[in-house]
Amino acid sequence: MEFRPCIDIHNGSVKQIVGGSLKDKADYATENFVSQQDAAFYARLYKDSGIKGGHIILLNPSTSEFYEKTKAQAISALGTYRNGLQVGGGITPDNAQEFIDAGAQAVIVTSYVFKDGKINYDNLKKIYNAVGREHLVLDLSCRKKDGKYYIVTDRWQKFTDEIVNEKMLDNLLEYCTEFLIHAVDVEGKANGIEDELVSILGNWGKIPITYAGGVSSFEDLIKIRELGKNKLNVTIGSALDIFGGSMDYNKVIEFCEGESK
């Protein structure tokens, strides 16, 4: 189990938010933490710690008045830690290469691929052809409805008809190098993980998967290791001390490195 750090950028600032609260209207989000440091600070921290594969998420749409400030923060972080971080948020074949050139290890895509409630294979092939499998991460962030986990898009605001299960993972496997999956209903709440989702992902485990959402303690990390059969990587946001939480950043790295051996 590897620790995969994050840098979430909203309205030009590094933040931790409650995932389900994000709204395009008035660029609103319920905030847990707003950093006084810029995105490059966190990129430098992760670089100095020697941890790769973390993700930068631009939480403003391209139509937002804050988008350019948010993008500038992301570009600065990518340049600070070249080939060490992934980036997502409004990625398309038209802008993907710009982020790769800026230093992104990979681009993360959701809304462009999941259109009108379904997987749009034409779009999936376009982004695949634009950057290649090795530079493409598919974000399958989801929310639970009627007992199943459905992909959500557009900054987690819209439900699709697509269900996260082994069949879906098999269908998408050949197009990407890994999956990033936020459990949106618990994202940013630091109040426990989605046990069922972790089990579904751990039962599959054919390529790397990073789970994010609800981690609040080292007990949660143990549960992810056990339920995920030690096949999942993990992101922690609001619970980390570097984002105002109680979990020691360095101890988290040590714990996850120990679990990977």
pLDDT at 191: 75
* Amino acid occupying residue 227: L
Q: Exposure of 8 by Cβ count < 10 A (0-12 exposed, 13-18 middle, 19+ buried)?
A: buried
Q: What mean pLDDT is reported for the chain?
A: 92
Angstrom CA distances, 248 to 38, 41, 190, stand at 20, 18, 14
> Looking at the domain assignment, is residue 33 inside a domain?
yes
Q: 1 in a domain, yes or no?
A: no
Confidence of residue 35 (pLDDT cuts 50, 70, 90): confident
Q: Any idea what the CATH number is for the domain that residue 175 is in? A: 3.20.20.70
User: Based on the structure, what is the number of domains in the chain?
Assistant: 1
| Boundaries of domain holding 39 | 6-260
Which of the four pLDDT bands, split at 50, 70 and 90, describes residue 41? very high
- Is 40 a residue whose pLDDT tops 90? yes
Between the CA of residue 11 and those of 31, 80, 223, what are the distances in Å? 12, 20, 34
Identify the three-state secondary structure at position 182: strand
Q: Is residue 206 part of a domain?
A: yes
- pLDDT, one tens digit per residue, over 77-129 is 999 999 999 999 999 999 999 999 999 999 999 999 998 899 999 999 999 99
Residue 153 inside a domain? The answer is yes
What integer pLDDT is reported at residue 180 of this predicted model?
96
What pLDDT, in 10s, does the model give residues 198-211? Answer: 999 999 999 999 99
Domain membership of residue 18 (yes or no) is yes
The answer to whether position 57 is within a domain reads yes
